[in-house]
Amino acid sequence: GQQLNQSPQSMFIQEGEDVSMNCTSSSIFNTWLWYKQDPGEGPVLLIALYKAGELTSNGRLTAQFGITRKDSFLNISASIPSDVGIYFCAGYPGGPGNTGKLIFGQGTTLQVKP
Amino acid sequence: EADIYQTPRYLVIGTGKKITLECSQTMGHDKMYWYQQDPGMELHLIHYSYGVNSTEKGDLSSESTVSRIRTEHFPLTLESARPSHTSQYLCASSEVGGRAEEQYFGPGTRLTVT
C-alpha cells in the first residue's frame, strides 16, 4: 500500500531556532496536509496543499507541495515553547493507488528548550 | 460554533465490558472517520462512513463496530473490551466536494482496558 516516510522522527531545539521536517513517498500524491497534535488531544489541521509547487504560509509555518508530487516539507520559523507537539504529514495518493483514504506519516516529535 | 465532539475523553474499564464511544459533529459534514492511535504513533483508519447508513472498514482490522443513523452522529462500539483494545480513538469528519480532503478531528477518547 501507499506509505509516507516522515523525517526526522524527533527534534530537540532551542527556542528561536527554525525547524524543518519533510515527508516523502515513492508514489505521487494529489493533496498534502500538515497537522499538529498536542498531548492528549486530536490533530489540528495547520496547512493544506493542493497543487504541485504550491507554497503556503500560516503565520510562522510554511509548507510546500513538491513539484514531483512525491514530497512535502514544513518549516517553522523562530520556534517558541508552544510549538511543542507531534507534527504529522498526511496525503491523498494519486494515480491508480488512489483509494480515497488519507495516508498519515509516522510523525515528528518536536521539543523546544526555552 | 461548528465543531466535532467526542465523549468520554477518558475511559478505564474492565475486560469483557461493552462500551460505546460517542462522536458528534455540528459541521454538516457527510463523511466521518474513526482512527486508532497508540501514544506518539501514527494514525490508523479503522472505520469510515460517507453518509447515513453507509459504513466501511478501514485499513486496520478492528473488533469494533460503527453505525451511522444520523448525519451528525457516528458512535463506535466494542461488544467485549480486552486489554489489547487499550489505545486512543480519534473521530474525524470532512465535507463532500469542495475541500473534501481536509479532515477535522475531535479531541479523542483515551481507552484503558484493565
Contacts of A1 in chain B (CB under 8 A): 59
- CB-side neighbour CA atoms (13 Å) of A6: 25
Model confidence at A5, pLDDT cuts 50, 70, 90, reads very high
Q: Which pLDDT tens digit goes with each residue over B69-82?
A: 999 999 999 999 99
Contacts of A45 in chain B (CB under 8 A): 102-104
Average pLDDT, chain A: 92
Distance from CA of B9 to the nearest CA of A (A): 9
Q: Which pLDDT tens digit goes with each residue over B23-43?
A: 999 999 999 999 999 988 999
Contacts of B42 in chain A (CB under 8 A): 88, 104-107
pLDDT of residue A96: 64
Q: Which pLDDT tens digit goes with each residue over A14-46?
A: 999 999 999 999 889 999 999 999 998 999 999
pLDDT of residue A94: 72
What is the four-CA torsion angle of A61, B42, A104, A89, rounded to 10 degrees? 10
Reply yes or no on whether the pLDDT at A100 is more than 80.
no
Burial of B86-108, coded b for 16+ CB within 10 Å and e otherwise, reads ebbbbbbbbbeeeeebbbbbbbb
Tell if the CB–CB gap between B102 and A106 is shorter than 8 Å: no
pLDDT of residue B59: 84
